[in-house]
Amino acid sequence: MWADLSPIGRNPETGGYRRHAWTGADADCRTWFQEQAETRGLTYETDRNGNQWAWLGDPAQGDAVVTGSHLDSVPDGGAFDGPLGVVSSFAALDELRARGAKFTKPLAITNFGDEEGARFGLACVGSRLTAGKLTREAAYELRDADGVSLPEAMEAAGYDPSTIGADPERLARVGSFVELHVEQGRALALSNSGSAAGSGDAVGIASAIWPHGRWRFDFRGEANHAGTTRLVDRRDPMLSYAETVLAARREAELAGAVATFGKIAVEPNGVNAIPSLVRGWLDSRAADQSTLDTVVTAIEKAAREYADRHGIDLDVVRESFTPVVEFQHALRDELGAVLRERTGREIPVLGTGAGHDAGILSESIPTAMLFVRNPTGVSHSPAEYAAEDDCLAGVRALADVLEGLACR
């Protein structure tokens, strides 16, 4: 499975993946998912929001156990973020069948669409729509860098955008959702020699997802000639933007949070032109809401001071926000008990600063997450990696959990 999926959407120049929503690479990933489902005799369907489902048993029975993740990527992303969870779900089903497991509940494997938000700027579109956290009207307003709207992209890919929206009937079928994911950090990879930060285990359980959001900073100045305009006469928004980037790093360090300006758009974007507009996107995350509010407020305050100093107009727009997600303790504890019984040891529980479909769905259905060790902690990069033995340990852990939830 891994070898079949590996070449899809890979950029030969960077080695990274460009599996953006409703593109050719995305279509190829969806075809792969459907083939995996049909090869196993599962009932395949696509829901009203373009999410893919592969069912074992009758969905109408209710109280289904669902697992899966996503197949799309960030620009030049790694091979593991998302796909590891989907591949492991199919592999876990294979493992359970090899064990002769008897299912007492329906089981489903899913691929949620547009989790990364690389094309339209909003993460977890498929699960947000399903959970009613993104309205059809707001979804219709989403556009990519070329001005293509979400419904236009869906229609071009052969899907009907008129059906998108909340899907409470589908969620009512689900009793629990467990998502396996490569760890996006090094907590599991650190040694077991008494370090409070790391456990040395191949698999861990998620405790919570930090609150996080995306803010757009629009710095507007005056375009002019780079060679003839005196420095004192310039209204250069790039200066204010650059100072704000440094302020973000400073404020995040002071608060023990993270803040990143990772995307920028410049107009007119000429080598010999002073910009008229610099638009930067801030991603910030923290362990709690109060800390996140403090960091973002301080960054915006600094940005406005820099803008005023250089005669720059500034608009700040919050484009998305996800509050802290505390995974349901009962389900989390059940995962821990199942794995403790199977392995004879306590499984580490750790938080994460990364958002996931499991977090979006957590207010609608019980959700939980398993993490697979990442030796470098690198993610959203072609260097993202997990050892095969650890991936197989993740498959076994997921199979154990699914057996505990769906075969009793």
Q: Which residues contact 52 (CB under 8 A, 6 or more apart)?
A: 30, 33, 34, 37, 44, 45, 46, 110, 111, 113
pLDDT in tens, 110-127: 999 999 999 998 899 999
Question: H/E element holding 68?
Answer: strand 64-69
- Residue 390 confidence (pLDDT): 95
State the Cα–Cα distance between residues 224 and 275, nearest whole angstrom. Answer: 7
pLDDT in tens, 38-83: 999 999 999 999 999 999 999 999 999 999 999 999 999 999 999 9
Q: Which residues contact 305 (CB under 8 A, 6 or more apart)?
A: none
Tokens of 385: 């990696």
- The yes-or-no verdict on residue 313 having pLDDT over 50 is yes
Radius of gyration of the chain from its Cα atoms, rounded to whole angstroms: 22
Kindly report the backbone phi and psi dihedral angles of residue 4, in degrees, each rounded to the nearest multiple of 5, phi listed first.
-65, -40
pTM assigned to the model: 0.83
- The yes-or-no verdict on residue 84 having pLDDT over 50 is yes
For residue 364, the one-letter residue type is S
- Residue 368 confidence (pLDDT): 95
pLDDT in tens, 226-268: 999 999 999 999 999 999 999 999 999 999 999 999 999 999 9
- Residue 195 confidence (pLDDT): 42
pLDDT in tens, 347-377: 999 888 888 999 999 999 999 999 999 999 8
